[in-house]
Amino acid sequence: MATNRTFTMIKPDAVAEGNSGAIIKIIEEAGFRIVAIKKTLLTPERAGEFYAVHAERPFYADLCGYMSSGPIIPMILEKENAVADFRALIGATDPSKAAEGTIRKQFAKSVQANAIHGSDSDENAAIEGFFFFAGVEQF
Ligand code: DAT
Ligand code: MG
C-alpha cells in the first residue's frame, strides 16, 4: 500500500473542552505522521465553503454556525491507507453508532458536535488540505 495523506480537523466542541491533546495522542499512536497543523477560526462563510457538498441538506446552516463557533485544529496526516484507516479511527458520524475505542465514541457530544472530521477520499483529502495549508506548510 502506498503511503498517502488525509485531512482532519478537531472541531470546536473538542477544542473548547481541552480534548485536543488527547485526540492528537491517539492519532499519533495509531501511526499517523502530522504533515501540517495549526489552530484557526472559520467564518460562517468559510465553513459553508468547506461543507459546500452539504449545501442542500437541512442541517447545513446549523453546521456552518457550529463549525464557526470556536477555534478548530486542522491537520494533514500521513500513513499507509490514510483515508480509510483514519475514517476507521474516528468512527461513525453519529457517535451513538460509533464503535468502541473510536475518537467519536470517546469525545463526540452529538451528530453535529462530533469532535473531529476525516476526509472521505484521496481527492477530497488533497482539496481540504489545501483549503487550510499552502504547499510550503505541508512537510
Ligand atoms: P462525516 O463528518 O462523518 O464525513 P458527513 O460528511 O455526512 O459526515 O457530514 C458532515 C458533518 O455534518 C458531520 O460530521 C456532522 C454534520 N451532520 C451530518 N449529518 C447530520 C445530521 N443528520 N444532523 C446534524 N448534523 C449532521
Ligand atoms: Mg464527510
List the grid coordinates of 68.
464557526
Q: Determine the distance separating the centroid of ligand 1 and the alpha carbon of 111, expressed in angstroms.
A: 6
Q: What is the ipTM of this complex?
A: 0.98
10 Å CB burial of residue 14 (0-12, 13-18, 19+) is: buried
Name the fold adopted by 3-133: Alpha-Beta Plaits (3.30.70)
Catalytic residues: 117
Instruction: With a cut of 50, list the residues of the chain below it in pLDDT.
Output: 1-2
Give me the pLDDT at residue 139, please. 95
Question: Which residue among 49, 90, 94, 111 is best mutated to probe the pocket of ligand 1, counting the most ligand atoms within 8 A of its Cβ?
Answer: 111
How far apart are the C-alpha atoms of 18 and 32, rounded to whole Å?
21
Q: Which residue minimizes the CA distance to atom 16 of ligand 1?
A: 112
Give me the pLDDT at residue 1, please. 47
Looking at all shown ligands, the one closest to residue 114's CA atom is 1
Question: Is 87 within any annotated ligand binding site?
Answer: yes
